Amino acid sequence: WECQRGIRDSPLASTWNADLAKRFGTCISEECRALGVDILLGPGINMQRLSVGGRNFEYMGEDPFFTSRIAVSYIQGLQSNKVIAVPKHFIGNDQEFVRHIASINIAPRALREIYLPPWEAVIKEAGSMGMMTGNNQADDVPMAMNHNLVKGVLRDEYGFRGIAMTDWQNSQYHPMRQHLILTSGMSLMMPDNGAFMKYIDEEVAKSPERKMEIEAMMESMIYHNIYPLFAFGIYDREFQTKELFNTFEGHKKIARQTAEEAIVLLKNEKNILPISKNKKILMTGSPEIHSGAGSGFVTGYDHTTYAEGLEKIYGINFTYKEKAIDAEIKKADIVIFSLNKPSGEGRDIPFAQPEAVLDDLRRVIRLNKNIIVLVNASNVMPMDWLPQVKGVLWCYFLGQERGNALAAVVSGEAVPSGKLPFTIEKKFEDSPAPRFNYIAGSPYWRGNNEYKNYWLGDEKAKGPEQIKKNVKPHQPIPVPYSEGLFIGYRWYDKNKIEVHFPFGFGLSYSSFEYSNLRIDNTDSPEIKVFATVKNTGKYKAKEVAQLYVSKPSTTVEHPEKELKAFAKIELDPGEAKEVSFKLNDRSFSYWDEQINDWKIQTGDHIIRIGGSSANLPLTSGITIE
């Protein structure tokens, strides 16, 4: 059971609303219990290291603190009805490039500051009872049998006591390394453990004196699998809680609110949005998509399409034509152009947009000056067309309530409040690792499920010649994370690279003013920060106040700024509210590779507050001793 009503983790994150994420998770748990589902394979908490990741629609963005806060709330909601959460895919499984033999290499500090914090949070704060390892390898050891990271970090250091399962078939791809599983901290091979049991049988037959030792290790694995089932009372309850079917209708409201708050208004020239009901609207372009492909795809039911939602509000003034003729485009007061970028498991998504889609958009731009582009995507793209359109709404894959949500935002019934959980760069060459997937001098975009027998050692198996000529069976492909700490906005800040839209960006139909930053550090070790946000516009609206910390310049390199707190608030026109934030030791710490532990960075820090990572009007210094 992967998700609720087709909405995935990327748009959920775009709401920047931890309370909503908890309610969303609770809805999922009620649907799981009604249907007899005890274990849910999610949420996805990998970093969106690169904008081309095929499974970015399943992940929560580029910032570890932000991902941690949304994921913890989501899992708290999910496990509130004793449904086991299985956050995934541990760790660094943020691309589909030769995903079973891609061997990530992350320096210890980057691992601790960027990639591990969400996992620490969901275990220590949310009490997650499950986790799933990635398809990839780390330092040439498959994650399905990685002792250092699974047992060493998750179990021994973070105290994880639950089910550690492999991604599907992952342990089977490494038949000569089955001996690593027993001591790895893994406890469940999915979808079966055939290769592992073959190893066990052969090992006991070869070395009978090891039988008791092996049985003891296997009992430990079994304990990790059954402990969550007993802890959550799964064996003591009815298979289904059928009365929870009565909650499903109410879940539509949460699904719609999530979709509404996920939509990000990126451009609104001359206030083309919201659109009054007397305007003649034509919607054209790509047929809409509601979900990513692969294991995360959701067929869903009871869909409301974009066209259906808009027609409910605009009636005869709304027309949908997938292939509109020139005269229809010219006649419309406003044209809404649907621009898709499909994605899914099994391949990464090239940055470039197909020319056929762009040609269609260019034709519409030539024929009408009032264009609003709907971007249905969780992967970014070139936006050369941006100056020529008046409005842009980033809509992700919004699931079954997408039409009602879009219509509410377009009409002004709902005011957009989504913020980007990732950066939209101008060129992929600007990104931290534009050549992450090069083999023999050229990029390779696919995963490798389609020729899995080759990776199992069958050199006669059919597969792409580019791979077979350059990669031997079982040969790991190194993927160095040479950018270290500097992914997402950290990278673009460090290198002074101009982007289309920064992390945390999102417009509103209203406007907001920030003032009165004050810091109370009398209750050490917790520091309280306050700021006033005022709605200076005409609409009741929600704003996400974001707090970033800049560490002092020292011999230790730090990002220019890092998100350390955020809060979403709703304000009436003219209303002002004081927002409070809490900071702790970790907010001012870094991972010291010399002592292999967190260390507080002493000295003068700067606290910055505002509406996006690039718009932080409030600043104040604070000294950490």
pLDDT of residue 455: 66
pLDDT of 555-565, one tens digit each? 899 999 999 99
Q: Which structure tokens are listed for 228? A: 């969550």
pLDDT of residue 1: 40
**Do 332 and 280 touch, CB atoms closer than 8 A?**
yes
**Degrees (nearest 5) of the Cα angle 32, 251, 345?**
60
Q: What is the DSSP letter of 615?
A: B
Phi-psi map region of 169: left, alpha, beta (phi>0 left; psi -120 to 50 alpha): left
pLDDT of residue 522: 75
**Do 286 and 340 touch, CB atoms closer than 8 A?**
yes
- Give the Cα separation of 379 and 398 in Å (integer): 14
Amino acid code (one letter) for 191: P
- pLDDT-above-70 percentage for the chain: 97
Taking residues 101-105, report their average pLDDT: 95
Confidence of residue 505 (pLDDT cuts 50, 70, 90): very high
**The pLDDT of residue 283 is above 90:** yes
Amino acid code (one letter) for 60: M
Confidence of residue 248 (pLDDT cuts 50, 70, 90): very high
**The pLDDT of residue 418 is above 80:** yes
Taking residues 338-363, report their average pLDDT: 93
Q: Which structure tokens are listed for 1? A: 């059971």
3-state secondary structure of 165: strand
Taking residues 79-108, report their average pLDDT: 96
**Do 88 and 44 touch, CB atoms closer than 8 A?**
yes
Instruction: For 79-119, give the DSSP string.
Output: HTTT-EE--EEETT----TTTTTEEEE--HHHIIIIISHHH
- Give the Cα separation of 242 and 244 in Å (integer): 5
Confidence of residue 278 (pLDDT cuts 50, 70, 90): very high
Taking residues 471-491, report their average pLDDT: 94
- Give the Cα separation of 6 and 440 in Å (integer): 39
More confident residue, 289 or 449: 289
**The pLDDT of residue 396 is above 60:** yes
CB atoms within 10 A of CB 538: 11
Rg (CA), the chain: 25
Q: What is the DSSP letter of 307?
A: H
CB within 8 A of 113, min separation 6: which ones?
64, 485, 590, 591
Q: Smallest Cα–Cα separation from 164: which of 172, 173, 155?
A: 155
pLDDT of residue 5: 56
- Give the Cα separation of 166 and 176 in Å (integer): 17
Taking residues 151-157, report their average pLDDT: 98
The CA–CA distances, whole Å, from 570 to 26, 261, 401, 573 equal 22, 12, 22, 10
Taking residues 542-547, report their average pLDDT: 98
- Give the Cα separation of 164 and 173 in Å (integer): 18
**Containing H/E element for 557?**
none
- Give the Cα separation of 337 and 286 in Å (integer): 8
pLDDT of residue 6: 58
**Degrees (nearest 5) of the Cα angle 70, 73, 76?**
145
CB within 8 A of 110, min separation 6: which ones?
481, 484, 485
Q: What is the mean pLDDT of the chain?
A: 94
pLDDT of 421-478, one tens digit each? 999 999 999 999 999 999 989 999 988 766 667 767 777 776 677 787 888 888 899 9
Confidence of residue 273 (pLDDT cuts 50, 70, 90): very high
**Do 59 and 33 touch, CB atoms closer than 8 A?**
no
**The pLDDT of residue 13 is above 60:** yes
pLDDT of residue 245: 95
CB within 8 A of 265, min separation 6: which ones?
273, 391, 392, 393, 409, 416, 418, 506, 507, 508, 509
pLDDT of 214-236, one tens digit each? 999 999 999 999 999 999 999 99
